[in-house]
Amino acid sequence: MQWILQEFEDTHKLAEALDGLGIPYTWHKVVPFIGELIPEPVVANPSAVLMFGSYTLWRNAEANGYRPRMFKLRPFVQEKVWHPYLLNGADALFLTLREVPAHLADDGREWFLRPVDDSKEEPGNVKTAGEIIRMAERVLSLDEDEIPAGSLRHDTLLMFTKPVRILREWRLWIVNDRIVTYSLYKEGSRVIHRHEIIDVCRTEQGLRLLETNCLNAAGFYAADLTKLAAAIDGLVRD
């Protein structure tokens, strides 16, 4: 299996684990939003390529027919079996950016918002209804061909839900239905990376599933990268 890595701090940590496992990899820079690689990788077998780095790498993988490329998941809110356990999403309001000015009341209410796709066009955050409407109007004032790739667009589907106070947040990496490694991510407002596990997030209402992410583009924090790399390489080889 050939691993293609975008060069930044987290992937350097991954490279150390790959070195220890004797797994080959190459380093590349990624053109923002477009996903082109510099230098262009020399790929012996397009059906045996894994890519780790920014989310836009999926564009390059798709254009070149790489497999298994990046492990993308469909939006977590579409998994109905998870709805009883979600922090937010099961009872959320869903609007495209184009629909926001007409359907979101400018009443001072605060909303947590994020794109439904794991696209990072807008990071998950809390804004007032007025701030959201003004943001939408700024984007809608542009012609769609003026909007850079990777930015909010007229048809971006957004999720709006009631803000919830998170006491602790963990990230878990699951490969082949098994939790391979894990890391504490936040404790209250503090960012803390520690190798421990309870669940995905703890709120005043109990434990909740926060979200799912593209594994190849997620920060590693205090995860055991040797276990993670071995599990992924073994999965795709099988």
Give, for all 238 residues of the chain, the pLDDT tens digit: 899 999 988 899 999 999 999 999 999 998 877 778 999 999 999 999 999 998 888 889 999 999 988 887 788 888 888 888 888 776 799 999 999 999 999 999 999 999 998 777 888 899 999 999 999 999 999 999 999 877 999 999 999 999 999 899 999 998 888 999 999 887 766 655 555 557 689 998 899 998 888 888 888 999 999 999 999 999 877 6
Is 200 in the same domain as 221? yes
- What is the predicted pLDDT for the residue at 190? 62
Is 111 in the same domain as 46? no
Q: Supply the pTM of this predicted model.
A: 0.80
- What sections of 65-174 are H helices per DSSP? 100-103, 129-140
Asked, for residue 130, whether it belongs to a domain, the answer is yes
Is 174 in the same domain as 211? yes
- What is the predicted pLDDT for the residue at 179? 92
Give CA separation, 4 vs 40, 68, 215, in Å. 10, 12, 14
Q: Which of 161, 189, 213 delimits the end of a domain?
A: 161
Domain range for 61: 2-69
Q: Residue 226: in which H helix or E strand, if any?
A: helix 225-237
- What is the predicted pLDDT for the residue at 150? 79
Burial bucket for residue 173 (CB in 10 Å: 0-12, 13-18, 19+): buried
Is 96 in the same domain as 155? yes
Rounded to 10 deg, the angle between the 9-21 and 225-237 helix axes is 70
**Residue 223 has which token pair?**
């995860």
Asked, for residue 191, whether it belongs to a domain, the answer is yes
Nearest Cα to Cα of residue 70 among 80, 56, 90: 56
CB 97 within 8 A of CB 158: yes
In the chain, how many domains are there?
3
Residue type for 52, please?
Answer: F
- What is the predicted pLDDT for the residue at 113? 94
Q: Which of 161, 183, 211 delimits the end of a domain?
A: 161
CB 228 within 8 A of CB 172: no
Asked, for residue 181, whether it belongs to a domain, the answer is yes
Q: Which of 24, 41, 69 delimits the end of a domain?
A: 69
